[in-house]
Structure 1
């Protein structure tokens, strides 16, 4: 999240929490696509991580990119921690220095790909004089957690103190992983429910298709998507496949109740983040929060709390697809195309729901648990994720054709599915190709990743 909310409108009733989500509904003609992607910076000369301070650090990179783009700085206690654009895009830094573009809401995948190209070109102009490049991998392949710099963001200090209390890998998630997310709109509560169910069930398919984090601490880690596996031991209260989303009657209200039962991290007042980790939002609503007695919940508190939930698909005022490792620019655009094709055409959405309608809660959980290790070979409901991926891609292709959004050369959005179709045809993920390189021409050394797996 690039910038935490500062809306001080008071919240006095549970119904207002529900309405906050309902306010995200849009007419179909206004549906947009938002893409967020993280990339791990390193110094080209030494293949070392990039600290915040120093003449060639993350602060200098943000300042240089601000000069390139004209975007306004986002500050936290005097430190520049991001950049914000009037048209809606933003740059932020993740806890370990991962550089994130939170893209603007755009009308089609063509615009998403163009935005990405513009961002990468501007970032390269700012980073090259500093000797910085960025990995296209879903996890830093070489540095230990204790070798990874920590960025000076107040909310991250609070999260870093709480994470080890609720899981063994939360700090690895914060400091060493990189993802790409696609954010999509919904027209109504019923539309949200349909999209939530289809995308949750198919999220392990995305984990398999985009698996791209097979190295940790300089060696193979036993997974194709170690990033995805790390989330399984981060914080069970705020992660996972949301089994209640498939129960009868699911909607905004059920999601609100889940969030109300999810422990808080912080309450922001002005520029100060108050550590209330483990506390109840219900107590804040009632003015009975032990750490801040007499303080009552505001809209910003609710928006910020919603942003600290990390399920495989997250509901805010849009839906976030969260199951994929970051990859190269073609794979980033491919993820947008995959989900837009599946969810933005009604016939495609019907077909996607039909594809997974026979899956039990146990099937979905087993696929989620196994996909990080086995990828496309993961068994699910008498088939494999590879076979499901082939069908899902065919549905997505049909959905994109039906949308008929064409670029200046007359091509529709199906062109962005080509990397995924190649993966399914070969039956091999990018991670498996990297492992073959490691065992072969890389000579059992990840050094080559810093020249071959870069933006």
Structure 2
């Protein structure tokens, strides 16, 4: 969402105006960039445990918690990298400046720590950015007795164990979520994801990329499954995070069939989004609760509680766009949202997969043809199957693993064709190595953890934190 004081106050006048806002995202190929966002759970190290701090459980905002890590990052290098973002006097995030320009650090509802990476030209740069981030937070987090582990769903904590961050938006969502689904509070507090944000050239290019990536998000969910535990034990799922999204707030989530309509485009997306209930608006630096209100009715001037005398603005619509939770989200770019957070190598491979499929013309043509082999409804059905069955979910007379292997092969060709090399002369395709191993029969992250649980860990899920720590 917009930071307080940064909202565009231009009044909204038409649907065409809002569609034009999305169209402004179109860029020539030479300006296409890669933005990777990744989340991770904080956990209390056993040596720092005490009466108020339980080993392996998430740390609080304060004292000696997540808020202090933000404060320390803001102090590093004399304050020349980050600018504070506050909510009612509380530090809730950092906006990148100087060498970190274009990136940000933010807190998810229960303190999951997120880096929203800057738009970068290559996956090599993405890898360096990710490594710098982990290196920057380790010293202060360890001094506070805190570790970090990127996992899709918290493997031990109950919902009641999770702290809440002092962020006004989350208080509104916390109140509203139970009204529209049974698992929304779990989504907020007990999940972590990784996503990559990618550009498009035009409305036609956007639609092609959206359809391909939305259809194949369930396969990505299976490939990156990394959450097989629930409150200390396996519960038969490989991606608890993906399961949570099946009953969070389905009017704004999932794979809307409207997105696959041949006439879909910027205006059709705006029409869809206007009927997604609102959460909040920002006025005078304060976040106001308008959960459940209609943006469309507001545009028409119809009376709604909490919106009396207020005129919808472009900034309001931009904030509203952030409350759409589809598996691929359209803004002025496309966000791939179907994967569990995982190891740094796997999170970088997630970005590599989609760059390889969508940023090379031949690869996009090949994967578009691949997707069109089946009806769109088949992909929606696959989404329902993969949280439990993963790559073994039935698909076209075989299993989803077959489709995943074809995806990874096309992505590798796309990255080789990009021919963007690092200092050692390697192109980006080597970053797909973890996925190529899975395509060749290696276990997914979730399957690996289950093997450890039933073997070396002897049923002690807490051992995942040391092995998954970054």
Residue 181 (1) aligns with residue 195 (2): yes
Of 392, 416, 427 in structure 1, the residue corresponding to residue 407 of structure 2 is 392
**Cα distance in structure 1, aligned partners of 2:116 and 2:104:** 5
Residue 49 (1) aligns with residue 50 (2): no
Q: Report what 1:225 is aligned to.
A: 239
Q: Report what 1:17 is aligned to.
A: 18
Q: CA deviation at 1:427?
A: 4.9
Of 139, 142, 147 in structure 1, the residue corresponding to residue 161 of structure 2 is 147
What secondary structure does 2:71 align onto? Answer: helix
Q: Report what 2:138 is aligned to.
A: 124
Q: Report what 1:369 is aligned to.
A: 384
**Cα distance in structure 2, aligned partners of 1:350 and 1:231:** 30
Residue 68 (1) aligns with residue 76 (2): yes
Structure 1 runs of 4+ with >4 Å offset: none
Residue 240 (1) aligns with residue 225 (2): no
What secondary structure does 2:56 align onto? Answer: coil
**Segment drifting more, 361-370 vs 410-419:** 361-370
RMSD: 1.2
**Segment drifting more, 123-132 vs 156-165:** 123-132
Q: Report what 1:409 is aligned to.
A: 424
**Cα distance in structure 2, aligned partners of 1:97 and 1:82:** 11
Q: Report what 1:311 is aligned to.
A: 326
**Cα distance in structure 2, aligned partners of 1:270 and 1:7:** 13
**Cα distance in structure 2, aligned partners of 1:138 and 1:83:** 23
Q: CA deviation at 1:284?
A: 2.2
Q: Report what 1:253 is aligned to.
A: 267
Residue 340 (1) aligns with residue 350 (2): no
Q: CA deviation at 1:380?
A: 2.1
**Cα distance in structure 1, aligned partners of 2:84 and 2:374:** 47
Q: Report what 2:369 is aligned to.
A: 354
Q: CA deviation at 1:227?
A: 0.2
Residue 85 (1) aligns with residue 86 (2): no
**Segment drifting more, 138-147 vs 178-187:** 138-147
Structure 1 179/235 Cα, relative in aligned 2: closer, same or farther at 3 Å?
same
Q: CA deviation at 1:242?
A: 1.9
What secondary structure does 2:440 align onto? Answer: helix
Q: Report what 1:196 is aligned to.
A: 210
Structure 1 2/121 Cα, relative in aligned 2: closer, same or farther at 3 Å?
farther
Q: Report what 1:453 is aligned to.
A: 468
What secondary structure does 1:143 align onto? Answer: coil
Q: CA deviation at 1:13?
A: 1.1
Q: CA deviation at 1:382?
A: 2.6
Q: CA deviation at 1:358?
A: 2.2
TM-score, normalised on structure 1?
Answer: 0.98
Structure 1 427/201 Cα, relative in aligned 2: closer, same or farther at 3 Å?
farther
User: CA contact under 8 A between 2:2 and 2:319: conserved in structure 1?
Assistant: no
TM-score, normalised on structure 2?
Answer: 0.95
**Cα distance in structure 2, aligned partners of 1:322 and 1:232:** 14
**Cα distance in structure 2, aligned partners of 1:42 and 1:2:** 29
Q: Report what 1:168 is aligned to.
A: 182
Q: Report what 2:345 is aligned to.
A: 330
Of 428, 435, 446 in structure 1, the residue corresponding to residue 450 of structure 2 is 435
Q: CA deviation at 1:3?
A: 3.9
What secondary structure does 1:195 align onto? Answer: helix
Q: CA deviation at 1:376?
A: 0.7
User: CA contact under 8 A between 1:287 and 1:294: conserved in structure 2?
Assistant: no
Q: Report what 1:35 is aligned to.
A: 36
Q: CA deviation at 1:270?
A: 2.0
Identify unmatched segments of 5+ residues in structure 2: 47-54
Residue-by-residue CA offset, 1:255-297 (whole Å, 9 max, x unaligned) = 1111011000011112211111110001222343332212111
Q: CA deviation at 1:2?
A: 7.8
Residue 97 (1) aligns with residue 98 (2): no
User: CA contact under 8 A between 1:313 and 1:321: conserved in structure 2?
Assistant: yes
Residue-by-residue CA offset, 1:24-81 (whole Å, 9 max, x unaligned) = 1111110000000000001112222111110x11111110111225311100000000
In the comparison of the two structures, how many residue pairs are matched?
A: 454
Q: Report what 1:421 is aligned to.
A: 436
User: CA contact under 8 A between 2:2 and 2:318: conserved in structure 1?
Assistant: no
**Segment drifting more, 360-369 vs 297-306:** 360-369
Q: CA deviation at 1:422?
A: 1.0
**Cα distance in structure 2, aligned partners of 1:372 and 1:418:** 23
User: CA contact under 8 A between 1:145 and 1:176: conserved in structure 2?
Assistant: yes
User: CA contact under 8 A between 1:180 and 1:324: conserved in structure 2?
Assistant: yes
User: CA contact under 8 A between 1:363 and 1:381: conserved in structure 2?
Assistant: no
User: CA contact under 8 A between 2:15 and 2:271: conserved in structure 1?
Assistant: no
**Segment drifting more, 333-342 vs 40-49:** 40-49
User: CA contact under 8 A between 2:57 and 2:161: conserved in structure 1?
Assistant: no
Structure 1 61/115 Cα, relative in aligned 2: closer, same or farther at 3 Å?
same
